[in-house]
Amino acid sequence: MHVTVTPAPESVIDPQTGEKRTLGRIGMLATEGFTPISVGAAFGAAWDLTIENGGRIFTALGSLVRGVGVRDLGGPIAIAQVSVQAARGGIETLLLLVALISINVAVFNLLPIPILDGGQIVLNILETIKGSAFSTQTRERILKTGLVIIGLTFVLVMFNDISRNMQNIVRLVGRLFGGST
């Protein structure tokens, strides 16, 4: 079977350099074949995959700190959309997505933001260095700061989700009414 495919140009920001470049997208998904392995080998492969993806998450977080890719962050709406696509790809793809989300949550929870576990670890280390516990008022201010950071992050990802979907709606309406949006 011969198929003619014309890639659609898509502008993306390179997470390492921060430079904008154009890639050709054809809407295809590569899949791997199934090779039976032992339970022990499966646990080893799962561990390696977890470490590899955890490292990628830290790399992406470093890029975000520099402001690269902030517009690419997605929240609940993006997760739902990707989940639907993964479910259409089969149970293996869906389970891989669930695993990746779990790794993301674990890494995010270890960030040194006061209200998260990573922040609590840092707070305990600082109290140990100080030699005494912080006052209730100081601890409360620190935790409120962490809550504000989490709240602002949530607002940002929801804004990104909504703006991405609004653009799709505008494009669809433009196409329906003959415009070239």
Domain membership of residue 18 (yes or no) is: no
Do both 96 and 46 map to the same domain? yes
The conformational region for residue 89 under phi > 0 = left, psi -120 to 50 = alpha, else beta, is alpha
Domain membership of residue 99 (yes or no) is: yes
Top-ranked range on mean pLDDT: pick from 45-49, 80-84, 134-138:
134-138
Tokens of 49: 């995959």
pLDDT in tens, 14-62: 766 778 888 787 766 656 666 788 999 989 988 998 899 888 888 888 8
Instruction: Give the separation between CA 119 and CA 104, rounded to whole angstroms.
Output: 16
pTM of the shown model: 0.64
Domains of the chain: total: 2
Do both 104 and 72 map to the same domain? yes
Do both 156 and 137 map to the same domain? yes
Range of the domain at 3: 1-13+40-109
Domain membership of residue 29 (yes or no) is: no
Roughly how many angstroms between the first and final C-alpha of the chain, as a whole number? Answer: 33
Do both 84 and 134 map to the same domain? no
Domain boundary among 94, 109, 124: 109
Q: Which of 124 and 163 is assigned the larger pLDDT?
A: 124
For residue 181, what pLDDT band results from cuts at 50, 70 and 90? very low
Count of alpha carbons within 13 angstroms of residue 3, beta-carbon side? 6
Q: Which of 92 and 149 is assigned the larger pLDDT?
A: 149
